[in-house]
Structure 1
Amino acid sequence: MSAQAAERLKRFEPAAVRGIWRHELALYKRYWRSQSFASMVEPTFFLLAFGYGFGSMVAAVGDYRYLDFVATGVVGTAALFTSVFPGMFNGYIRRVFQHTYDAMLAAPVDVHELVTGEALWIAAKSSVYSCTPLVVALFFGLDPAPGMLLVPFIAFVTALGFGLFGMWTSSVVPSINSFDYVITGVVTPLFLVAGTFFPVGTLPEWAEKAALLNPLFHCVELVRHAVFGLRPLADLGHLGALVLFAALMWLIAVSGMRKRLID
């Protein structure tokens, strides 16, 4: 490898990332209706079903009305689902069946630029879709707050990490059917033990401590604090956990995709 080529692998070309976004935008224009319907309606159903279903039996959780508690928690769930599944399935299909990534790499695009461009696109979409539960909750009595303006950013950082996790997973599973293990063994526990529908403080001590390792828990806490009142020191810790998760996932996603596409 020439010195010039080696140097290129260490940096990003904005044109390469822009090209990936243009490709994604061209595809999105064809399926935005169906994807938007699923991405926005599903968390709304979660909110209404749990908020009014359990809400009829549980009026409040701590100082929060149960519907408001669930609405802020479902933001995290929406960020998870709208990022990890596209990262997993789109990543696998484009690499194995469509060979889209092979075509991209034939252009002046490196693996780290491909992974970054794809993950940023996933996170950008997710940051918009994830706000749906809050918008719906506003119509059901949730008080608006200035901190709500931070929610898209929180969802973006969360979705970036989970989108990269999905892309890494797509590079290591032996077949598309193997995603069942990931969904059941990883995604579902993360979704359930994140403080979305009940406080993690009600769990056994060992489970409560394990929840601290769950990036989705930190997302839910940040969203709740943004809506009900920021807690600067705690929120910096939650944000740091999400950034660290995204950075780690970027490293292993790039490594995994490089092994599959180049090595």
Structure 2
Amino acid sequence: MDDATMIFRGLHDQERPFLLPNAWDVGSAIAFAAAGFPAIGTTSFGVNASGGRPDAGGASKEATLALVRRLRVLPVPISADIEDGYSDDPEEVGALVAGLGVAGVNLEDSAAGHLVDPSIPAAKIAAIKRAAPDVFVNARVDSYWYHEDTALSSVVARAQRYLEAGADGVFFPGEIEAAALEQLTASLPVPVNVLASPGVTLDDFAALGVRRVSTGSLPYRAAIDAAVAVAEAVRDGGDLPIATSYAVAQQRLLDFEARERAATADA
């Protein structure tokens, strides 16, 4: 197991949940790393949207693979959002993850906006663990996201199916009542991941047993809103926001470029 993978696993074993910011391009990932976040994930929505495509349906595959290959030179572990693995063939999914060179992946259990039979993602998880046993597999249960089969017993059963296949953690996106979330974390012997939620702090999540919180596509969507607000302020004579200077932003990119050159030379 390499250092990045060990570090990433260790981040799930803290008193407070570790916050995983989700990047959509190199620039956002560099900024998260510069801000001191100990690991960075990708967001399929942000990757798709920045390329002018709607989310899901496997549209993010090539862009995500290209992005992840570049982000591996950053000095922090990377976790890739690979939607449903971009294939119905478990062995293809396993081979894809083995070639990513990342510390973790998210694998969802839905397609075309609906839950799939749990045997399908379970087979993919098992294939990933055969091909890349050290990669932290975060099995995403989309029951609450798509409002399907949300009875607690059903949600737990899906999660347990993925744990039996080898998943290292479980991700429950969507709105979940605090009591239900507390029952979920108590029922599962692995780290539980949720999305950041308005008015809920990391300490609040810790009290419910959550060990990882992801920003999801929120930073991308907020960045788009902020960009529009800047243009509106210029148009309407409003106050302009304070931003990272051009010089600092440029230096971050130069440093990243140097890391890429060094990595290529060492290969």
- Bigger proportion of residues as helix: 1
With normalisation by structure 2, the TM-score equals: 0.25
Q: Taking structure 1 as the reference length, what is the TM-score of the superposition?
A: 0.25
Determine which structure has the larger strand proportion and give its number: 2
